[in-house]
Structure 1
Amino acid sequence: MVQGPAPSILEPARSVPVYGEYEIVVLGGGPAGIAAAVAAGRSGRSTLLIERYGFLGGMGTAAGVTNFCGLHANVHGEKRRVVHGVANDLLDRIEHLGGLREPHDVMGRIQAQAYDTSAYKIAADELLLSASVDILFHALASGLHMETPGRIDAIFVETKSGRQAIKGQVFIDCSGDGDLAAWAGAPFELGDGQGNMLYPSSMFRINAVDAGRADHSWTGLGKLMAEAERTSNRRFPRKSPIVRPHRSGIEWRANMTQLAREDGVAIDGTNADDLSRGEIIGRRQIADVFNFLKTVPGFENSYIVDIAPQIGIRETRRTVGRYMLSEDDVLNCASFDDTIGVNGWPIEAHVSGDVVVKWAPEGSRGYNQLPFRMLLPQQVSNLMVAGRCASMTHMGQSAARVSGACFVMGQAAGTAADMAIAARSAPEKISVVALQDRLQRDGAFLGHKES
C-alpha cells in the first residue's frame, strides 16, 4: 500500500457500450433488492437487477447468515409473523425445496427462521424469473452518469465482458453500502459519525455434529467460553456466541467472530484494505474458535464444511433521507402516517467484544412502523434507497438492517418506482395512500392492526 499521497494515472476517455435501457434498475440482490425487483417486475415494468456475485441473497448467502431475522415480532407477548408480501412468496419457494426450518426462539423473546443457503439461491432465481426480471450477475457497479445534477441517467458496471452502462428511469439502491446514493451526491453518514460501526463477523458452517449430544449444549456455550477464559490463556473475539443446528441436525451454523482493525475499531466495509484484512482475520478467528468447539460435547468429530464467501458486513454508509429511523422509534414502537410495513427486531448493537440487545417494553405491540420517507434520499430525484443503507441512525439501523425490514423496504421501493413512472413524477411526489393500498393488496402488513 502506498504511503502518503497516492500517485494517479490519467485514464483516457472512452466510449462505454450500453448494456440495456430499463424502466427500473435495482442494484444489489439481497432481501431488499429481491423484493424491489419482484415488485417492479410484477408491475409490468422492464426491470434489471444487478448483482456482483453469481447468486442472490446478499449477506444471507454471501456472508453465510443462513437465518431470516425480523420476519416476526413479539406482539403483546405473542410471537407473530409480521412481514408478508414478497417475503411470503420467497419463503414458500424455499420450503418447496425442503430448505426452510421451523421458526425458532431467540433469547426467549422473538423468533427467527433458518434456511438452507442453496435452496435460498435457487428459490430467489426462480422468483425473479417468474416476475420477468432480468438479472445481471458478476457485475460490479463502479460509477454513474448524470447529465444534470440530481438525476441519474445510467450506472457503469465492470463485467467479464468489459465496462458497460445501464440506463434507467428510476434506480433503487439496495447495495447495502449506499454506493449509488453516495456517488450521486446524496448526503450520508458512515457509522456513528465518529468512526464506529457495527462490528462485522465471519460466519462458518460445521458438519458431522452429533445432534443428540449437542442439541442443548449451544445454550450453555457462552458459559463454557467464559470458563475457558478464566482457566486458560484463551481469548474469544466476542461474547454471546450463536451456534445452532440446520434442518438436518448434523450441520450447524456458527457466528462466533468479530472483526476489528489493529486499533480496535470495526472493519470498514467501504475500505478495500480493511475488507482484505477482515477476511484474513475472520478465517484466523474461525480456526481458533473451532478448536475450542471441538472440546464441546457433540462436536468432537465435527469439521468445518464451509466458510462464507465474504465477511458479514452489518453497517457502512447510511443515507440521510427525508426521515431517519431512530433508536427511540424502535424502542417506542413508533407509528408513521406513511408506513410501508413494520420492523419487530430489537436494537442489536455489535459493540467491541459483545452484542448489546435492547427491546421494546414487554407487553407492547412489539414493532415499529417503517416510513416511506426513509427510502427517499435528499438531492437525487429518481433514486430510492432500501435495505441496511436506507435512512436510519446508527442505532436505529442496528434493528432495521435485518432481512425482515429489508424485504419490507424493497417491496415498497419497487412498487413506488412503478407508480412514479406511471405518474411521470419523482418517487417523493407519489400518493402515499395509493402506495399503501397497493402494498396491502399485494399482501404486505403495514402495522395498522396488531395482527
Structure 2
Amino acid sequence: MTTAHPASVTEPARQTPILGEFDVVVLGGGPAGMTAAAAAARHGCRTLLIERYGFLGGMGTAAGVTNFCGLHANVFGDNRRVVHGLADELLATLEKLGGLCEPHRMFQDKIMAQAYDNAAYKLAADDLVVSSGSQLLFHAQAAGVLMRSPGEIAALLVETKSGRAAVVGRIYIDCSGDGDMAAAAGVPYEKGDGHGGMLYPSTMFRVNNVDPARAGRAWEHFGRLMEEAARDGRRFARKTPIVRPQKNPVEWRANVTQLSNPDGTAIDGTDAWQLSEGELQGRRQARDFFEFLREYAPGFDASYILEIAPQVGIRETRRIVGEYQLTEDDVLGCASFEDTIGVNGWPVEAHVAGDIVFKFVDVPNVRGFNHLPYRMLLPLGVDNLLVAGRCASMTHMGQSAARVTGPCFAMGQAAGTAAALSLRAGVAPRRLDVADLQRVLERDGAYLGRDM
C-alpha cells in the first residue's frame, strides 16, 4: 500500500541574513565566471564569486574535461590562438605549473585543442581570481532571487553550510551554466532544439599506466577497434570516441559516453532525478569502455581507471533569450558584429543520439571564427543582470559551438568589464556604450576579431 504525498508543503516565513553587499555578484566559477569576477574586481568593483564546489573550473574540473576547446581557430589555414586577455594569464600560470600540454591538431588539422592537468587548472584559477581582489564563496548554491521590481534583482539567495543567506549586489552576472539565477528572475529561456532534444551529456574518465610506445597514435584507430569489438558483441553508447593522452603520456582521457533517458532523449541536467540516474549510467558506461580498452587497445592492457569525474559533464540545459541569439549560421558563416566582445573558432558540435556530428566552416578559405556580440550577454526583461557562458543567448546549434571554454573565457571577461563600466557610468548594462567597452577590452588584451 502506498501513501499519497501532497504536491507541495508550505514553508514558514523566515528572516534571511544578508551575507554581504557587493558591487558585482557572479554566480558560477567556470571559465566565464572566473574571468567575469577577475575583470570586475580589477576594474575596481567589490566583487563576489559564488561557486557550488570547493574549486573553480566548472565542467573543466568538476566534469573532468581536461582539455581546452575553442582557444584556437583555423584562420585561412593557420591554426592560431584567438582567445586572449585574462585567458593569457591563466594559461601562463598553467604553463609555469607544468600542467599545460602543447596544442594538438584534430580532425585532419582543421582545428586545435589543448589538454591540461586538472590540479594545475584549479591552482591557476585560484590565482587568477584571488589576485584580482575578488572574494570567493565556495560550497554555496543558488536557491532563488528576491526581486526589487520585475526588471531588477534585489538579492541572490544561496544555501551554504552556514544556512541560507542573501547576497546583495548592484549588478549580477549569471555564469552558472544552467542559467539558474536568470531563470529564477523570470528571464525567458529555451532548452534544446524546440522538440525537447538537448545535447547529450557525458561522463569523463581518465586511465593511467598506458604504455605510450605500444599505444602510439591510438586515437586514429579506436573507430576500427570499436567495430571489431561490436562484431564480438560489445555495445557502445556513442560512436566517435575522443581518447587522447595527457601531459604525461601514460595518462589518457576518455570522452566516450552518452547519457540518455529510457525514451532515448538526453539527460536533463536541471532535473534532479534524471541527473541522478545519469551519474549511475555514466559510471556504468565508463567501466564498460574501460574493459574494451584493456581487451582491444594495444598498450592499455595493464591500465587502470585513475579518475571518474566528480559529476556528469553537461553540455546544454537552459539558454537564456537575450537581445540577440547567436545562431548556427553565424558560426558557419564566420559572422561579424559591430558589438563584438570576443570570438569563437570552435565548430558546430552536435551531440546527437549515438554520435557526434561536427560541422566546420570552409577551412582554409575563411578566417575561421565568428564574433560574439555583446547583445548575447543581455537577457530580456532584467536590467541589472548579465549572462555569460554556455547559458548565454544562443540557439541550440549556435550554442553547440560557442559553449566551449575559449568563447566562455571571452564572454566572462566582457561581462565583468561591462558590469564595472556600467556602474562607473551609472547606466544599466544594456545601455552601456559598447565602443567604450570594446576599447577597454582591447586595452586589457582581449581579441575582438576586428582586424579581419
The TM-score bracket by the shorter chain reads over 0.9
In structure 1, what residue type is equivalent to 2:400?
S
Q: Distance in 2 between matches of 1:180 and 1:163?
A: 16
**Aligned twin of 1:445:** 447
Tell me the TM-score normalized by structure 1.
Answer: 0.98
In structure 2, what residue type is equivalent to 1:97?
L
Does the alignment pair 1:398 with 2:397? no
In structure 1, what residue type is equivalent to 2:431?
K
> What secondary structure sits across from 1:294 in the alignment?
helix
**Aligned twin of 1:283:** 283
Tell me the TM-score normalized by structure 2.
Answer: 0.98
- Cα distance, 1:194 vs structure 2: 1.0
> What secondary structure sits across from 2:376 in the alignment?
helix
- Cα distance, 1:190 vs structure 2: 1.1
Q: Distance in 2 between matches of 1:302 and 1:367?
A: 39
In structure 2, what residue type is equivalent to 1:331?
L
> What secondary structure sits across from 1:44 in the alignment?
coil
Show the 5 A alignment for 1:36-435: 36-107=36-107, 108-229=109-230, 231-295=231-295, 296-362=297-363, 363-435=365-437
**Aligned twin of 1:12:** 12
- Cα distance, 1:4 vs structure 2: 9.2
> Identity over aligned residues, as a percent?
63
- Cα distance, 1:223 vs structure 2: 1.3
Over aligned residue pairs, what C-alpha RMSD do you find?
Answer: 1.1
Distance 1:338 1:6, change over 3 A: farther
User: What runs of 5+ residues in structure 1 fail to find an aligned partner?
Assistant: none
Q: Deviations over 1:175-226 (max 9, x none)?
A: 0001111111111101112110000000001000001111212211011102
**Aligned twin of 2:33:** 33
Q: Distance in 1 between matches of 2:227 and 2:350?
A: 21
Q: Distance in 2 between matches of 1:196 and 1:317?
A: 12
Distance 1:153 1:3, change over 3 A: farther
Q: Distance in 1 between matches of 2:33 and 2:72?
A: 20
> What secondary structure sits across from 1:330 in the alignment?
helix
> What secondary structure sits across from 1:153 in the alignment?
strand
**Aligned twin of 2:23:** 23
Q: Distance in 2 between matches of 1:274 and 1:44?
A: 42
In structure 2, what residue type is equivalent to 1:438?
V
In structure 1, what residue type is equivalent to 2:440?
R
- Cα distance, 1:306 vs structure 2: 0.4
- Cα distance, 1:6 vs structure 2: 5.2
Q: Distance in 1 between matches of 2:173 and 2:158?
A: 15
Q: Distance in 2 between matches of 1:149 and 1:93?
A: 42
> What secondary structure sits across from 1:428 in the alignment?
helix
- Equivalences, count: 448
- Cα distance, 1:5 vs structure 2: 8.2
User: What runs of 5+ residues in structure 2 fail to find an aligned partner?
Assistant: none
Q: Distance in 2 between matches of 1:89 and 1:195?
A: 39
Q: Deviations over 1:157-182 (max 9, x none)?
A: 10100001100000000000011111
Q: Distance in 2 between matches of 1:61 and 1:85?
A: 21
- Cα distance, 1:131 vs structure 2: 0.3
- Cα distance, 1:3 vs structure 2: 11
> What secondary structure sits across from 2:219 in the alignment?
helix
Structure 1 residue ranges, 4+ long, deviating more than 2 angstroms after superposition:
2-7
